[in-house]
Amino acid sequence: MSVPVLVLNGPNLGRLGRRQPEIYGTTTHDELAERCRAWGADLGLDVEVRQTNHEGVLLDWLNDAADAATPVVLNAAAWTHYSWAVYDACAQLTAPLVEVHLSDPSQRPEVFRHTSVVTPHAADVVAGLGVDGYRVALETVARLISG
Ligand code: DQA
């Protein structure tokens, strides 16, 4: 039986493929979602991919994941860097949380990107691998839930 896993993407990631492709690549969010589902299927994971530009919606999804003990792969995008509400929501998760970023925020020039409210709660952080980072994050979830 496949294990449910949520891949949650925050603001502006719905514009992947059109958004600063020199930083985020040319893969669209629909294509990313399709790849995540396929990678998940190979790993025995039933992956659902969601994206929102609304912080409260992300909080509701994280709260639901806490209640259902669902593993989460999270790219909180810009909220990563300043949302204490996301910090508090991540703190409530009991199943593995893996943080993912397409770029490597720690290597980017804007100092605000060098802080993450997600990292203190994450079992692992995958950054700078582009879309492939989601595959690595799902592999990490599969490894963590298998014991
Ligand atoms: C991002 C990095 C963040 O700094 C930025 O705000 C994003 C995307 C990434 O995937 O590289 O929106 O999370």
Classify residue 101 by burial, with Cβ atoms within 10 Å: 0-12, 13-18, 19+. Answer: buried
Nearest CA to ligand 1 atom 6: 78
For 94-136, write each residue's pLDDT tens digit.
999 999 999 999 999 999 999 999 999 999 999 999 999 999 9
pLDDT per position as a tens digit, 57-69: 999 999 999 999 9
Separation in Å, CA 34 to CA 38, 55, 88, 133: 6, 24, 30, 14
The CATH code of the domain at 3-145 is: 3.40.50.9100
Q: Is 12 in the pocket of ligand 1 (CB under 6 A)?
A: yes
Among 12, 16, 103, say which to mutate for ligand 1: greatest number of ligand atoms within 8 Å of CB: 103
Q: What is the pLDDT of residue 147?
A: 77
Domain residue limits, the chain = 3-145
